[in-house]
Chain A
Amino acid sequence: MHPGSRMPESSTTPGSTSEIPSDTPSTAPGTAAARTVLGEADIARALTRIAHEIVERNKGAADLVLLGIPTRGVQLAGRLAERLAQIEPAFSGEHGTLDVTMYRDDLRRQPTRAVGQTVLPGSLDGTIDDRVVVLVDDVLFSGRTIRAALDALNDLGRPRVVQLAALVDRGHRELPIRADYVGKNLPTSRSERVRVRLADVDGGADAVVISGAPAAAAAEHAAAEHVAADNADERSAR
């Protein structure tokens, strides 16, 4: 059993083998050249801008609820909440966690995932009815995580509006979902991996790293074979 040891779904390829061209080789993380797309200062600026956009779009921060999607979405929601509290003193600075595991559409394609915790900000009294919910995730990719999040929200109550903030939008949507607030639009190939590194989760400096460009990948095909042994998501990418 692999109890959800690999939560950042957003950085990996979704489990839809049929849509992947058969000639696209998979890549092994760490072996292909990785390049940093956003650094610590870029991420900080993007979050500050998103915070301002949220306030601007919603004409303030009244009824605003920030819910982060595990793992890194929660950290990002926390950072957004800090910034919102600075911009709008009326905002409480709280944020919550929305675990979407039990709403995923790929539960049977993946090793068993551990169920995470859903925590609403304490001031809400357990309901999100008539609130403005902003979902926060690190990488927006297939859109399937957000679909699951919308279903999970539906079971918690009836928000007035649901908006989506993502640090990186890497394209390749499989569902009609788009983000309201984007830190950086990042054109990618499906076979590339986009990883968000946050100091409070991964250690080191904040960064958005892209690895495994298609041209470089062919040589690493053999290596990918064995990396896939402990990586179910890689398996579905082949």
Chain B
Amino acid sequence: MKHLLTTQGLSKDDAILLLDTSAQMAATQSRENKKLPTLRGRTVVNLFYEDSTRTRISFETAAKRLSADVINFSAKGSSVSKGESLKDTALTLHAMGADAVVVRHWASGAAHQLAHAGWLDAAVLNAGDGMHQHPTQALLDAFTIRRHLVGRVGEDGRGTDTSVGADLAGLRVAIVGDVLHSRVARSNVYLLHTLGAEVTLVAPPTLVPVGVETWPCRVSYHLDETLEQWQPDAVMMLRVQRERMSGGSGAFFPSPMEYSRKFGFDARRLAVLPDHAIVMHPGPMNRGLEISAAAADHPRSVIVEQVANGVAVRMAALYLLLSGDIGSTSSSPSSSPSTSSSTDERTAL
């Protein structure tokens, strides 16, 4: 694995390796000394063209816990506001010797471009590109689901995680809300499908993207029906992305009140679910719109734990992308076919 750009096409073995490594990373985070020396001397650049609190802080924490140096770069207050292109920024980062670039961009495909345009030889981690993908969020969601529903860590999340090596076969996950604008939903649909879970998207027709029929999931327009009849093991609420709803296309639903009545998650809908079911939200939450305070703060809500797991998952991703023998082709004196074949194989992942 050279880059982590998308969950579409991520192999099941790699996904499980990422989750297992996350579990080991999470175990180190309950120690008094949380820092590991693993990535000492490596430089991780956080390249953020879009506002973000938790993802940026999560990546920064993950890199620092592995002893990497972290450089934060946000588009506001940098030369991007003077009109610098992504390419020139990438060349600058290359010149500074970045080993990994964590990129969030408002344009779908920006991370792919950065990884494959030849501007950089660093590992690229997609931290959200437009309405396309947000792979580490999906991985942390899958990790949280696996811990609770396969590993049975208990309601407080403190039990021993016994799920190492397991997938999510047979579990049902409902992803509810603004699917249209959600890269979290896209990443989750592919990853959860790869791991063997069944996914149903629940949204008003206006918030279901064109082409959804090609996704490996079901679509429903009725939340109550899905909760009662399908009995999901996990319900993932999506944020209504009002900042992406302005512009010419106008309103996607008649009123926030109506949206909340039909698609908001509250204590009443929580009571319909099986006893073991968990409630998730990628954050930031619009309390009172897509999720009520009672549901968000309920013992079966794992929203705060998702944030903690995010650090472990990002540590795992950074470790797996940065620890291998990436220098073997250039530094190894032997030009045997073995060296190149093993490296090619890894790059191809």
A175 within 8 A of B: no
CB within 8 A of B320: which of A112, A156, A230?
A112
The residue in chain A whose Cβ has the minimal distance to the Cβ of B332 is: A235
Find residues 16-65 in chain B having any chain A CB closer than 8 Å to their own CB. Answer: 17, 20-21, 24-25, 27-28, 31-33, 35-38
B24 touches A238 (CB 8 A): no
B263 within 8 A of A: no
How far is B177's CA from A100's CA once the two chains are assembled, in angstroms?
44
**Residues on B with beta carbons closer than 8 Å to the beta carbon of A107:** 38, 323-324
Known contacts being A103-B38, A235-B332, is A110 close to B324, with CB within 8 Å? yes
A1 touches B324 (CB 8 A): yes
B164 touches A232 (CB 8 A): no
Find residues 95-147 in chain A having any chain B CB closer than 8 Å to their own CB. Answer: 99, 102-103, 107-118, 126
CB within 8 A of B27: which of A109, A118, A229, A230?
A118
A53 within 8 A of B: no
Range, interface on chain A: 20 to 34
CB within 8 A of B36: which of A102, A108, A109, A114?
A102
A156 touches B31 (CB 8 A): yes
**Residues on B with beta carbons closer than 8 Å to the beta carbon of A113:** 323
B31 touches A155 (CB 8 A): yes
CB within 8 A of A225: which of B20, B323, B336?
B336
CB within 8 A of B342: which of A99, A111, A114, A126?
A111
Known contacts being A1-B1, A107-B323, is A115 close to B25, with CB within 8 Å? yes
B31 touches A2 (CB 8 A): no
B166 within 8 A of A: no
Q: Which has the most chain B C-beta neighbours within 10 Å: A1, A2, A3, A231?
A: A1
B241 within 8 A of A: no
CB within 8 A of B14: which of A1, A102, A116, A232?
A1
Known contacts being A99-B24, A238-B334, is A155 close to B36, with CB within 8 Å? yes
Q: Which residues of B contact A (CB under 8 A)?
A: 1, 13-14, 17, 20-21, 24-25, 27-28, 31-33, 35-38, 66, 164, 316, 319-320, 323-328, 332-334, 336-339, 341-342, 345-346, 349
Q: Which residues of A contact B (CB under 8 A)?
A: 1-3, 17, 99, 102-103, 107-118, 126, 151, 155-157, 225, 228-232, 235, 238
- What are 14 A-B residue pairs whose CB atoms fall within 8 Å in the complex? A1-B345, A1-B346, A102-B38, A108-B324, A108-B326, A111-B324, A111-B342, A114-B20, A117-B24, A118-B28, A151-B37, A225-B338, A229-B342, A235-B338
9 closest cross-chain pairs (CB), A and B: A112-B324, A229-B338, A102-B38, A115-B24, A107-B323, A228-B338, A155-B33, A102-B36, A3-B17
